[in-house]
Structure 1
Amino acid sequence: MIPPFFGQWESAGRIGDILSGALRAEDDPLWPRSGAAGAADYARWADHLCGVACLRMALAARGITPPRAFDLARELTTRGGYVVQPDGGIRGLIYAPAVAWLREAHGIAAEVRVDVAAGDIPALVADGGMFIASVHPAIRWPERDPPGRGGHLVLVFGTEGEALRLHNPSGDTAASQHDARVPLERFARFYAGRGILLPRA
């Protein structure tokens, strides 16, 4: 089953415009449904909510109605999953508090996984498992060589041949957002070797 898709920004069809600067995040017409306190709050936080989007997609895949994006971000912040730094910067998603929330709020036996080779991911997502993987945000352009690894989260939920199937909350096109097929060898160039495992229900 393909999980429902949620983007980091509410207007999934306008994410490319937001990333390019053609549309300010504050001007996303759907921001109120995020639960943000205001347009400025939305713009400040949405760039950091790839992990929230992945958690929401994973819950929806299990038939659980997910919280609104900012309701979940606030809950995770109280648990240490996001840290607002003195200079106003936002650090997170921090995996351990997110895993604790999945276990306590929804009874999902999630795990923080590190030192996971890209070649091990197909076995993790077989038969309904899901893996929230740390990748470079340039994964939206898998044909390019990334400048690094990590810094962004995507939801890997299956395979097709030698490719991983994933949802990317910051994909700049529909094709790079929803059920993107990224060859495993390409994926490995973006992948930081860690993430959150949600085993098969």
Structure 2
Amino acid sequence: MGETIFDVPVVPYHSQWASPRLVEDIVTGRIPASEDPQWASYGAADPDEYAWWSWRLCGVACLRMALEYFGHTAPPAMEIARACVEAGAYVRHDEGLHGLIYAPFATWAEARFGIEAEVRPRLTEPELRTALEGGRLVMLSVHPSIREPATEPPGTGGHLVLAVGATDRALVLHNPSGFFGRSQEYAHVPWDRLGTFTAWRGVVLGPGR
């Protein structure tokens, strides 16, 4: 008998890079992000601005997916990034960027788009399942190597994915830094492997008013 499959919704996908097909080449260093031919669609001023931000906007990609799923028009990635800086959800510093900082992000997202954004500093597997079965989506903190679930990550957290559904055996993810045709859309991460990658914290998103 096959596994029981909960309803997994059709959720639009966005990579954190403008060209989903090029993610593996960019992540592995075969090409610099500044050579992404679709960089302008990001809303960046130039390829260098795009390249700097593209490595850091996994959370923005998750929000854009959720917005479209809940019936909103998702602004370009850089428009959201700039708004998050103003809201204190991203803090630039000499060595990079602090963020995504959940509390100011959730407050801003609710006010700007009218969606629900509940910060969850600690999630359990049953709570994650319940949120998804209730029509929510979950921005979940994981290690970026989750794109290859058989690997052993050096730690947990550091990257955000969008949990879109569940089966008896696996959490179903849209991964903003997943590899095209392998681990971007509806990537299945077995429940017995999920704890190896996740920090069990994130933001639960709902349709709101």
- TM tier relative to shorter chain: over 0.9
Q: Does 1:167 align with 2:180?
A: no
Moved more, 145-154 or 90-99: 90-99
Q: Distance in 2 between matches of 1:146 and 1:117?
A: 20
Q: Does 1:6 align with 2:14?
A: yes
The alignment's C-alpha RMSD in Å is 1.2
Q: Distance in 2 between matches of 1:146 and 1:200?
A: 33
Q: Unpaired runs of 5+ in structure 1?
A: none
TM superposition score normalised by structure 1: 0.96
Q: Distance in 1 between matches of 2:108 and 2:10?
A: 23
Q: Distance in 1 between matches of 2:107 and 2:180?
A: 33
Matches within 5 A, 1:1-201: 1-85=9-93, 87-199=94-206
Q: What is the CA-CA distance between 1:16 and the residue it aligns to?
A: 0.2
Runs (4 or more) in structure 1 with deviation over 6 Å come to none
Q: Distance in 1 between matches of 2:17 and 2:193?
A: 26
Q: What secondary structure is seen at the aligned counterpart in 2 of 1:70?
A: helix
Q: Distance in 1 between matches of 2:27 and 2:191?
A: 26
Q: Distance in 1 between matches of 2:133 and 2:147?
A: 23
Q: What is the CA-CA distance between 1:113 and the residue it aligns to?
A: 0.2
Q: Distance in 2 between matches of 1:43 and 1:88?
A: 15
Q: What secondary structure is seen at the aligned counterpart in 1 of 2:41?
A: helix
Aligned amino acid, residue 191 of structure 2: L
Asked whether the equivalents of residues 116 and 207 of structure 2 are also in contact (C-alpha less than 8 Å), the reply is no
Question: Percent of pairs identical after alignment?
Answer: 44
Q: What secondary structure is seen at the aligned counterpart in 1 of 2:134?
A: helix
Q: Unpaired runs of 5+ in structure 2?
A: 1-8
